[in-house]
Structure 1
Amino acid sequence: MPGPTPPTAVRTAFPAPGNRDLDPSGAERLQDLLTKITAYPDSPSGSRGVTAAVVTDHWTWSGAAGTDIRGTPLRPDTTMPVADITKTFVAAEVMQLANAGRLNLELPLSRYVAHPLTRNNATVRQHLSMTAGVPDFDGSDIRALERTIAAAPSRRWSLAEALDYYTGRIQPPDDSFYYSNVSYILLGLMIENITGQPLAAALRHDLADPAGLRHAAFQDAEKPQPPVVQDDNESCGAPDGYLPCRGVASAAAAFAGLAADAPTVARWGYQLYGGRVVPGDLVRQMTAGDGEYGLGTMRFTRQFGSADAYGHGGDLPDHTSLLVVIPQQRVSIAVILADGGRNIYRSMSELARAVQPLLG
């Protein structure tokens, strides 16, 4: 069952996103923070390049500083892979289908997906909250995947093929949290089985188009839109139009396949956690709970100020991303770094603090 409703979770839908630009003095203050990030690129919280965006109910802002790994200057609208932020779309789609009566969150996922990894009878809700007893791929699984992809980096993978490389042992579902990309592959398969559409088509029709996300790409069904960041993934050869390449993007489609620019990610956060594309009662379920993870949603308890926040992070070898929405303040912030494994939380904290006095 869903946990208690957080006091700051959305109760009424946000108004439409602001349609004016942030004033020049405020924009300069935020841009200075991005320049600071790139001034010390080798520091734990620095980066060779960064893009960021803020969406509020009154104004929007986006900026960029530095370059990608190949030295190309970044623009605010540069498309980059945003990895695990994909999970917010998959979870939102599952909630929409449940709301339409096409699935039941409390039934075992095995009702919708026949696979050895669903035989422990964990429910759909448990897979969403990563309490299904299905640990993630381990290091040897990932290395085997990488070797296969490297042999044919532009080959398209189906959602189920990556599961062939999983060697973990599933446990009985007992509400213990295991961060699990595997659960989200299974949820992606469920969406395809129920809708009769490819995952990308369902996410586009039900979520991205209603939210006005024209610069998002659900790979590999959709190609990233230019300008596109350059990558240097060891499993990929020459650029093939996908991020980082078609093999990686399609194998990770259900849990980390999204490519987008920072303004698109910030707009998505505002539309989703503001109750504008998914009804507020479903958003409250996604953000509810006592731990750090809800349903496809990371919970940031007063981590970015005095109010609770929600969203998701993502990490790839060449990119780190973070989406944070503070419902009490009707603000959504996205940061994408052109480096992997960086302390993006510090950058987000500084940006969130700088935004506070600009909210009016």
Structure 2
Amino acid sequence: MRWNAAALLVIALVVGCSGGGEVPGPAPDSPAQTAFPDPGTETLDPGRAAVLQDVLNKIVTFPDSPSGSRGVTAAVVTDRWVWSGAAGADIRGTPLRPDTSMAVASITKTFLAAEVMLLASAGKLNLDRPLSAYVQHRLTSNSATVRQHLSMTSGVPDFESSDYGAMDGAIAAAPGRHWTLAQSLDFHTAKVGPPGSPYSYSNPSYVLLGMLIEKITGKPLATALRRDLATPAGLRHAAFQDAEKPQAPAAVDNNESCGAPDGFLPCRAFASAVAAPGGLAADAPTVARWGYELYGGRVLPPDLVRQMTDGDGEYGLGTMRFTRLFGIGDAYGHGGDMPDHTSLLVVIPSERVSIAVILADGGRSVDRPMADLAKELEPLLS
């Protein structure tokens, strides 16, 4: 998510026409030419796992550094083995476990993009039709296409700082209130540009895509994502808030706008206000498993995955592009930031590996911990 920190909402992780057909053919030289095999089931042996755990221990040794944290969880899924680990504690001092649920913010966008791609492949929508053909809203009136909203080139800018401040005040006034998807858009005041504008990170586009999914499926967003993606991918420890509550054990937040904990991360009003662009809560093994299933072409056909990861810039369709950023190979995934949590999912198709890191602090530089983990991981993939 890309919310204003001063407003104590979600901070962004700043990284970064088919004529009648629903989904065009795959681009050449793209990843995921064939689906990954089943993920490994064996646990990495303790001797080899120690080097990965050491990375986590170093993160919490200097918690106040830009890439440090009071607590961290991480997980790796490969086609041969799996690993997960934890170090430190959440903001309330509760020790973290590998299966501790935390808010993973904009990693949620990968689910929305995957669902839209599924609906397009089933002929239920056309990526190259204006989103306004399906969702009538003042923010769709510029006729930007579904694909342009997915790629954040729709001309719909992110919320202004003042928008976040007003939203934060509304959350603080009623932290237990449920927000509909559209209600957060009532706070959007930025001027909409022309479709096909240069890439600009846009949470409102993903709110609109959530409304699109509900319109096409006739189901609440969480129901559609659970049925079509989470269940087929075997994700048992993911919660699409606020329709679902994070599963225990769950980190406890300390958000001033939310008051006392209510079982959501950080509270129901906040979680439902950001449900479409960033409401997911999950543990690191679940996030890593999702990356393996999605970018490994196991929940979407590989040709749809290639479209999500294709392009020359930093963003594909609901996907951040990390070209050799982490040293092992071209990588894809997404990051997210909440007031108390920072997360990053990275999948390296050439190595058939998915890595998830979640820090129990907001606004942290998670790229460095991910790079350190990838460096130690590389010899283990040989």
TM-score, structure 2 as length reference: 0.93
**2:275 is the counterpart of 1:253:** yes
Shift of 1:5: 3.8
1:192 corresponding residue in structure 2: 214
Aligned counterparts of 2:323 and 2:108: Cα–Cα separation in 1: 22
Tell me what 1:204 maps to: 226
Counterpart CA distance in 1 for 2:358 and 2:272 is 21
1:160 partner letter: A
1:69 is matched with which residue?
Answer: 91
Task: Verify: 1:143 aligned to 2:165, yes or no.
Answer: yes
Kept in 2, the 8 Å contact 1:8–1:328? The answer is no
Contact 1:17 1:56 in 2 (8 A): yes
Which piece of structure 1 moves more, 94-103 or 6-15?
Answer: 6-15
Q: Equivalents in 1 of 2:26, 2:369: separation in Å?
A: 30
Q: Distance in 2 between matches of 1:212 and 1:47?
A: 29
Does the CA contact (< 8 Å) of 2:26 and 2:303 recur in 1? no
Contact (CA 8 Å) 1:69, 1:230: kept in 2 or not? yes
Does residue 305 (structure 1) correspond to residue 341 (structure 2)? The answer is no
Counterpart check, 1:38 vs 2:38: no
Report how far residue 3 of structure 1 moved.
Answer: 11
Identify the residue that residue 167 of structure 1 maps to in structure 2. 189
- Aligned position for 1:117: 139
* Equivalent residue runs for 1:173-252 within 5 Å: 173-252=195-274
Which of the numbers 108, 112, 116 marks the counterpart of 2:130?
Answer: 108
Deviation, 1:6, is 7.1
Query: 1:284/1:138 Cα in 2 relative to 1: closer, same or farther (>3 Å)?
Result: same
1:341 alignment partner AA = G
Q: Which runs of 5+ in 1 are unaligned?
A: none
Q: How many residues are matched?
A: 360
Letter matched to residue 121 of structure 2: N
Instruction: Say if 1:3 and 1:290, in contact at 8 Å, map to a contact too.
Output: no
Structure 1 residue aligned with 2:374: 352
Distance 1:175 1:329 in 2: 34
* Deviation of 1:359 (Å): 1.1
Match 1:321 to one of 328, 340, 343:
343
Asked whether 1:27 is paired with 2:49, we answer yes
Q: Which residue of 1 aligns with 2:309?
A: 287
Shift of 1:7: 3.6
Residues 328 and 374 in structure 2, CA contact (< 8 A), matched pair in contact too: no
The 10-residue stretch of structure 1 (340-349 or 166-175) with the greater mean CA deviation from structure 2:
166-175
3-state SS of paired residue (2:139): helix
SS at match of 1:52: strand
Deviant stretches of 4+, over 2 Å: 1-8
How much has 1:76 moved relative to structure 2? 0.2
In structure 1, the residue matched to 2:153 is 131
Instruction: Give 1:140 deviation, angstroms.
Output: 0.2
Q: TM-score, normalised by structure 1?
A: 0.98
Task: Please give the per-residue CA displacement for 1:279-337, whole angstroms capped at 9, x wherever unaligned.
Answer: 10000000000000000000001101141100000011111000000000000000000
**More displaced, 167-176 or 323-332?**
167-176
Letter in 1 for 2:371: S
Q: CA deviation at 1:101?
A: 0.2
Residue in 1 that maps onto 2:296 = 274
Unaligned runs of 5+ in 2: 1-16, 18-23
Question: What is the Cα deviation at residue 175 of structure 1?
Answer: 3.6
CA contact (8 A) 2:30 2:310 kept: no
Structure 2: distance between partners of 1:197 and 1:97: 13
Q: Which of 55, 60, 78 lines up with 2:82 in the alignment?
A: 60
Shift of 1:25: 1.1
Provide the identity percentage: 71
- CA distance in 1 between counterparts of 2:370 and 2:303 reads 28
Deviates more, 1:291-300 or 1:171-180: 171-180
Amino acid aligned to 2:169 = R
CA RMSD in angstroms comes to: 1.1
